Every structure is written in structure tokens, then in C-alpha cells.
Amino acid sequence: MCLNITNNAICRQTHKLATSIILVVGIISKRGGLFEYNLQQKTLDMKSIMLILCSIFVILNACTQSPAQSNKADKKVGGPCEGCEAIYEYGNKKLSSVDTLPDFFDKGPKLKITGTIYKKDGKTPAKDVILYIYHTDQTGVYPTKGNEKGWAKRHGYIRGWIKTGTDGKYTFYTLRPASYPNSRNPQHIHPTIKEPGKSEYYIDEFLFDDDPYLTAEQRKHGQNRGGNGILKTTKFGDMQIAQHDIILGLNIPNYD
């Protein structure tokens, strides 16, 4: 992408300008041939207007791209994090504290993960935190549709993003993922965090306490990044519900 426009005000003003020029073009084009339109004593011919329009549409196209980007000024925390850049791949989607992943209405065990993201003190709700998750489908693979770009080629299309409000709360609706094919690998969900002023970093995978493939050894040796990632679910109708709070910076290298 040749331009990276993230200022919403610029995008809005550009859109208004494009609309105004299109109206001008519509008025003067009715007369046929090459005309001149005098605007505040400056003459714009049709070729100039079309050139301006082309430039504006390039900017508008950039405005529809992902508004979030990795900031070089952010403090680097968490160590190496392959694929964590995917947290910025939500495009022009307006993030809220609730997200429903694309698989939710498919056949499979429905899952709701909900909780609060806290600051390092474990008490203060954290605002403007992005949480990105992705996981396998009901066959244990990361499914793709063939038109994926970026990290979606590896993560698949079953992925979602939330952004916390002042209360720090979040909720995901999805299906409980399957284990990898022909394996005894536990069912799991990959989470990534991006908080203001810090680089993106991964936290403990979300695992399931009732998963028969989750061994005692694995339970014992979790890193507890952001807290213990093992989810305990309760059944409500056809929905499994997991309450999971996250503490920013907990056991994250170079955080303080």
C-alpha cells in the first residue's frame, strides 16, 4: 500500500471534497466538450478535475484500510511473537467489546468466552485494549477460503477481535475448536494482546479444563502470561460459557 491514512478527520474531509467535485463535474459536463469552471477566481478545467478526483480516490481507498498499525514508539515487550502482527488485520471493521466469529452458526459446540481485562495491578479495568483470537474448525484445521491475505493464510478465517471500553470487559462467541487431526494435542485458542503504549504480545493459549488431552504436565508448566489460560466451562442450554479474566503485563518479559 503506497499510502497509509489513519486520520479519520482527513478521511471525512477528503470524502466531502470528492462529493463536491463530483457535483461540479456533473454540472459542467452537461455542456459537452472541454469547459472551465471558475471557483474563487481560479480556473479548473475538466482534466484538472479528473486528476484531483483520481488522487482523492486513492486517499479514500487508503482510508478503508486497517486503522491500527504497529507504532515504533511502543515499548517492545513480550519477546519474539510470530504472527502477532495479525492483530492489526481487522481492516475497516469497527471494534467493540463483543465479537462473533464466523463459525458460530455452524454445527458444533457453541462457546462463549467472557471476562475482564485488567491493568497490571489486577484490579483496574483496562480501556482500549485489543484482544485477537484464532483457532481451528471442527476438523482440527485452520480453514481458509483461498482469498486470504497476510496472516490469515496461516491463521484461517475463524478469528476475531475485540476492543475494551472503560469497564475492560470482553466477549467472544464462537465454536469450541477441535484438536489437530490424528493427534493428542489439546484443543486450544490462540490469543494476542495490544494495549496502548506497548507492542503486541501473546498470552497463554486458552485451553479447556475438561479436555482429556490436557495432561497434568501441561497443566503444571503453563507460563501464566496474562494469567492461567485453562478455561473452566459451564453449560447453559446448548452454550458452553467460560469466564476468563486477563491481567496485562503479568509474566510478560520487559513489561515494567
Name the band, by pLDDT with cuts 50, 70 and 90, for residue 55: low
Q: Looking at the predicted structure, is the pLDDT value of residue 134 above 70?
A: yes
CA atoms within 13 A of residue 98's CA, in its CB half-sphere: 2
Question: How large is the average pLDDT for residues 152-174?
Answer: 98
- Note the Cα 159 to chain centre separation in Å: 8
pLDDT at 234 (0 to 100): 98
pLDDT by residue (tens digit) across 86-111? 999 999 999 999 999 999 999 999 99
pLDDT at 48 (0 to 100): 57
For residues 93 and 106, give the distance between their C-alpha atoms in angstroms, rounded to a whole number.
Answer: 22
Predicted TM-score (pTM) of the model is: 0.75
Could you tell me the residue ranges of all domains in the chain? 8-63, 84-247
Beta carbons within 10 angstroms of residue 226's beta carbon: 25
Please list, in sequence order, all residues whose beta carbon lies within 8 angstroms of the beta carbon of residue 179, skipping any fewer than 6 positions away. Answer: 136, 140, 185, 186, 187, 211, 213
State the chain's mean pLDDT as an integer. 83
Question: How large is the average pLDDT for residues 150-166?
Answer: 98
Name the band, by pLDDT with cuts 50, 70 and 90, for residue 47: low
Q: Looking at the predicted structure, is the pLDDT value of residue 34 above 50?
A: no
Beta carbons within 10 angstroms of residue 4's beta carbon: 10
Residue written as grid cell 469497527: 94
For residues 118 and 194, give the distance between their C-alpha atoms in angstroms, rounded to a whole number.
Answer: 13
Name the band, by pLDDT with cuts 50, 70 and 90, for residue 68: low
Question: How large is the average pLDDT for residues 194-214?
Answer: 98
For residues 175 and 180, give the distance between their C-alpha atoms in angstroms, rounded to a whole number.
Answer: 15
Question: How large is the average pLDDT for residues 9-32?
Answer: 45
Please list, in sequence order, all residues whose beta carbon lies within 8 angstroms of the beta carbon of residue 4, skipping any fewer than 6 positions away. Answer: 62, 65, 69
Q: Looking at the predicted structure, is the pLDDT value of residue 198 above 70?
A: yes
Beta carbons within 10 angstroms of residue 198's beta carbon: 20
Residues 223 and 204: beta-carbon distance below 8 Å:
yes
Least confident of 5-14, 192-201, 238-247: 5-14
What does CATH list as the number for 84-247?
2.60.130.10
